[in-house]
Amino acid sequence: MIAEAVLKPGGDAATALYIVAFSLFILGVKRGTHPTTAKQGNLVAAFGMAVAVVTTLLLDGIGNWGLIALGLGIGTAVGVIASVRVKMTEMPQMVALYNGVGGGAVALIAWSEIRHGISLGETIPLDTLIPVLFAAVVGSVSFWGSNIAFAKLQDLIPTRPLAVPGQQVINVVLLIGILVACTDIAINNDDPSQAIFIAVLLAAGLLGNLVVLPIGGADMPVVISLLNAFTGLSAAAAGFALDNVALIVAGTLVGSSGTILTMEMATAMNRSVANVLFAGFGGAPAGGAGGSTEERPHVSIGAQDAAIKLAYADSVVIVPGYGLAVAQAQHAIKEVGDELEKRGVTVNYAIHPVAGRMPGHMNVLLAEADVPYEQLKEMEEINPEMPRTDVAVVVGANDVTNPAAKNDPDSPIAGMPIIEVDQAQQVIVIKRSLSPGFAGIDNDLFYEANTSMLFDDAKKAAADIAAEIQNL
């Protein structure tokens, strides 16, 4: 009986089950288009994954059960602990880490495939070998690149752009070297050299490190999305190598998602992906900007003044940025919003596409603090409302509110779409100091006549304001 339960690899039964699995993935993602159905969609996709895993475990030729149990056990334990413990403010590094292990898994599988091919002593067909090489290179780049992104987001290494002299040249040389080595392996496909393959893995890893190291914190939404696309494509390539339809479809799905997000993030910064990757924003111009320490007049207020301005407004728009995540101020800000709503003030939250360190970062934080979905407004939606807004409160956001993007064609961020808080009747900026944002440029908003600066930690400032409103 048990023998009959075993599926033939590539056989109709196994393929049919894989088709069921990937259909469930697509349905799951499709349900993810609305907050009310997304949770259910996630379960549908997870069920698809269960189908795919069980199908594979039933394949003929699956063995070494002890190792399988060990790998599954370790992975499950780590996954459960990490997903339960992670704070919502730490989601970007979590996703970076998941990108990394995903890419790492693909690179290891590719290595194993090559070793298997060599040990058989037969010619490895190119339609297997080329996807294996692609998977190895892209998997290794994502593994190491994601680890650097993780380290930067976790503040293990400086988030400033770190550049090695002659970086671009080194990257190009590495890339050419990888292509040459891969070509060599492909030409000698009757007896490829494992040493060269390992060199390819290492060179790709080094390239991943070098490409991500010079990229600064605020560009992380682009980088994380791009690494997401890479891991997806590497999984699809592994599917080509292993003739596995579930891997091809699932990998492509992830690749599409990462690609779409990458393009959206780059558009939101008015920069090309290549510019983000190779231009190292804030690298060169940072020195120049650092010199401009001239004093410009600005208005500084305390929590009580801010509370009065807010409490007597009709409509308030709160603009969160990465500073909100750093200060873990999402709950305190929600409290301010609640106090204002009790007084009949209309409160909305304006979210710039690249606010935070990954796509949708701010939305997750505010959802955690129970801000209703309807109050989260996208940039295009809120900008026309700005002139009718009494007070705009900027919390830990900087470059995404800088009017220089519209007014100063020479600004490094010229043309970047911004949340037009300068159009509001009054602006309150909660920030620790006047220091420039990631782009290394001064924010003209701070010096406008209708702007008041509240210098404090975002969480403390928000808590103080909420208390002051209560006392009014």
Partner 1 sequence: MSLMTEITIFVLAAFVGFEVISKVPTTLHTPLMSQTNAIHGIVMLGGLIVVGYANDPLEYVIGTIAIAFGAINIVGGFMVTDRMLGMFSKKPKPKAEADGKGGGGK
Q: Does 239 bind partner 1 (CB under 8 A)?
A: yes
Q: Which pairing describes strands 391-395 and 376-378: parallel, antiparallel, or unpaired?
A: unpaired
Instruction: Let me know if 305 is a catalytic residue.
Output: no
Tokens 């928000």: give the residue. Answer: 462
Number of Cβ within 10 Å of residue 21's Cβ equals 24
User: Up-side HSE of residue 55: CA atoms within 13 Å toward CB?
Assistant: 25
Sheet of 346-351, strand order: 299-300, 451-455, 426-431, 391-395, 315-320, 346-351, 376-378
Q: Which of residues 54-73 bind partner 1 (CB under 8 A)?
A: 56-57, 59, 61-64, 67-68, 70-72
All residues at 6 or more sequence positions from 187 whose CB lies less than 8 Å from its CB, including other chains = none
Query: Between residues 86 and 186, which has the closer beta carbon with respect to partner 1?
Result: 86
Q: At what angle do helices 245-268 and 220-242 cross, to 10 degrees?
A: 160
Q: Does 228 bind partner 1 (CB under 8 A)?
A: yes
Query: Between residues 12 and 190, which has the closer beta carbon with respect to partner 1?
Result: 12
Q: How far is the CB of 42 from partner 1 (least distance, A)?
A: 5
Q: Which of 13, 80, 187, 414 binds partner 1 (CB under 8 A)?
A: 80
Query: Between residues 324 and 376, which has the closer beta carbon with respect to partner 1?
Result: 376
Structure tokens of 149?
Answer: 């992104």
Residue at 215: amino acid letter: I
Alpha helices in 343-414 (DSSP H): 361-368, 379-382, 404-407
d(CA 232, CA 160): 28
d(CA 299, CA 302): 10
Q: How far is the CB of 33 from partner 1 (least distance, A)?
A: 5
Binding piece for partner 1, criterion CB under 8 A, among 93-101, 202-210, 385-393, 424-432: 93-101
Structure tokens of 122?
Answer: 């037969």
Give burial (CB, 10 Å; 0-12/13-18/19+) of 373.
Answer: exposed
CB 353 within 8 A of CB 265: yes
Q: Which of 378, 384, 414, 435 binds partner 1 (CB under 8 A)?
A: 378
Structure tokens of 103?
Answer: 């890419």
Query: Between residues 62 and 284, which has the closer beta carbon with respect to partner 1?
Result: 62
Query: Between residues 44 and 404, which has the closer beta carbon with respect to partner 1?
Result: 44
Q: Does 36 bind partner 1 (CB under 8 A)?
A: yes
Q: Which of 122, 191, 314, 370 binds partner 1 (CB under 8 A)?
A: 370
Residue at 172: amino acid letter: V
Spot the catalytic one: 155, 219, 399, 464: 399
Structure tokens of 33?
Answer: 């288009």
Q: Which of 245, 279, 301, 434 binds partner 1 (CB under 8 A)?
A: 245
Q: How far is the CB of 462 from partner 1 (least distance, A)?
A: 19
Q: Does 180 bind partner 1 (CB under 8 A)?
A: no
Q: Which of residues 402-461 bind partner 1 (CB under 8 A)?
A: none
CB 175 within 8 A of CB 204: no
Q: Which of residues 310-369 bind partner 1 (CB under 8 A)?
A: 338, 341, 351, 353, 358-361, 363-364, 367-368
Binding piece for partner 1, criterion CB under 8 A, among 83-91, 200-208, 281-289, 425-433: 83-91
Binding piece for partner 1, criterion CB under 8 A, among 159-167, 257-265, 273-281, 408-416: 257-265
Q: Which of residues 125-164 bind partner 1 (CB under 8 A)?
A: 127
Q: Which of 4, 5, 12, 119 binds partner 1 (CB under 8 A)?
A: 119
Q: Does 249 bind partner 1 (CB under 8 A)?
A: yes
Binding piece for partner 1, criterion CB under 8 A, among 148-156, 168-176, 228-236, 282-290: 228-236
Give burial (CB, 10 Å; 0-12/13-18/19+) of 412.
Answer: middle
Q: Does 42 bind partner 1 (CB under 8 A)?
A: yes
Structure tokens of 144?
Answer: 């190491």
Query: Between residues 30 and 296, which has the closer beta carbon with respect to partner 1?
Result: 30
Annotated catalytic sites, by residue? 399
